[in-house]
Amino acid sequence: MIAPQERLIAALDVPTAADARQLVATLGDAVHFYKIGLELLMAPGFFELLAALKAEQKKVFVDLKFFDIPETVARAVRNLSERGADFCTIHGNQSIMEAAAKAKSGHTKVLAVTALTSLDQGDLDDMGFACDVAELVLSRARRALAAGCDGVVSSGLEVEKLRLEAPRELICVTPGIRPVENRVEADQKRIMTPTAAIRAGADYLVIGRPIRDAADPRAMALKIQAEIADALGARA
């Protein structure tokens, strides 16, 4: 069972660890789960921020999309597990996913990335994928489940079909979430509202700019939390 208030993962897509800590302080108890990724990794204080979030009893999704030889990915996942990360992401083939799944420890969950929400069918065609987006997502989800991964990162547009094949087994984390009043994003092509994603079967929603750039980030986070709660009631 997932606590309703933990289904919102606020993305700390900010330049520095100090900026991240300020946003966390602003959001207060409106957010219980945070994502930290590549932008913060390239700034000082990434792991100190992770430790500080864990000390405040927050959950942390480390989104670095590991892609390397299986042994290297396994060692990276093992180190993150020891640092208390709740979720981490990987790319790659079956051997990479299997290595990551075996290396995790404690309560760390390994999530396989399916297809980035910044990609549409035209992008996949350009990259040489001879299938549509939904087919690719479902294929990678099947392989992630077989490899022992705990879940996948998937656009909300594919969640409903994914749930028909793995209704309970896989955690589904959904980025590309935009409230109705904040839908225009040049680099996010496959997007969905919080209500639609939850009703489709998403477990967690990753939301960054709509919260970060709001006039009142805490009020926006609370509004999204209320929308998630309403959608869960409708889904039940």
Q: What tens digit of pLDDT does each residue of 133-190 get?
A: 677 778 888 889 899 999 999 888 888 888 887 767 789 999 988 886 555 455 555 5
Per-domain boundaries in the chain: 4-235
Q: Using CB atoms within 10 A of its CB, is residue 236 exposed (0-12), middle (13-18) or buried (19+)?
A: exposed
150 labeled part of a ligand binding site: no
Q: Is 188 annotated as a binding residue?
A: yes
Q: Is 58 annotated as a binding residue?
A: no
What average pLDDT does the segment 27-41 reach? 97
Exposure letters 154-181 (e unless 16+ CB within 10 A, then b):
bbbbbbebbbeebeeebbbbbbbbbbee
Establish whether 35 is an annotated binding residue: yes
The DSSP 8-state label assigned to residue 64 in this structure reads E
More confident residue, 190 or 95: 95
3-state secondary structure of 90: strand
| Mean pLDDT, the chain, integer | 88
Q: Decide if 33 contacts 9 (C-beta within 8 A).
A: yes
Cβ atoms of 114 and 124 closer than 8 Å: no
Q: At what angle do helices 133-147 and 156-165 cross, to 10 degrees?
A: 50
Question: What's the whole-model pTM score?
Answer: 0.89
**Which pLDDT value is given to residue 142?**
87
The pLDDT confidence band at residue 9, using thresholds 50, 70 and 90, is very high
- Of residues 129 and 149, which shows the higher confidence score? 149
The values of phi and psi at residue 8, to 5°, are -85, 120
Find all residues with CB under 8 Å of 171, minimum gap 6, and list them. Answer: 109, 111, 150, 151, 152, 203, 204
Predicted pLDDT of residue 69: 96
Class of the CATH domain delimited by 4-235: alpha beta
CA–CA dist 95, 69 (Å, integer): 9
Q: What is the mean pLDDT of residues 186-205?
A: 82
pLDDT of residue 117: 53
Q: What are the helix and strand counts (H, E) for the chain?
A: 11, 8
Q: How far apart are CA 12 and CA 39, in angstroms?
A: 9
Q: Rounded distance, CA 86 to CA 107, Å?
A: 6
13 is in an annotated binding site: yes
Q: Which residues are catalytic?
A: 63, 65, 68
Start-to-end C-alpha separation, the chain: 13
As a whole number, mean pLDDT of residues 8-37 equals: 98
Tell me the β-bridge partners of 172. Answer: 152
- Residue 59, annotated as binding a ligand: no
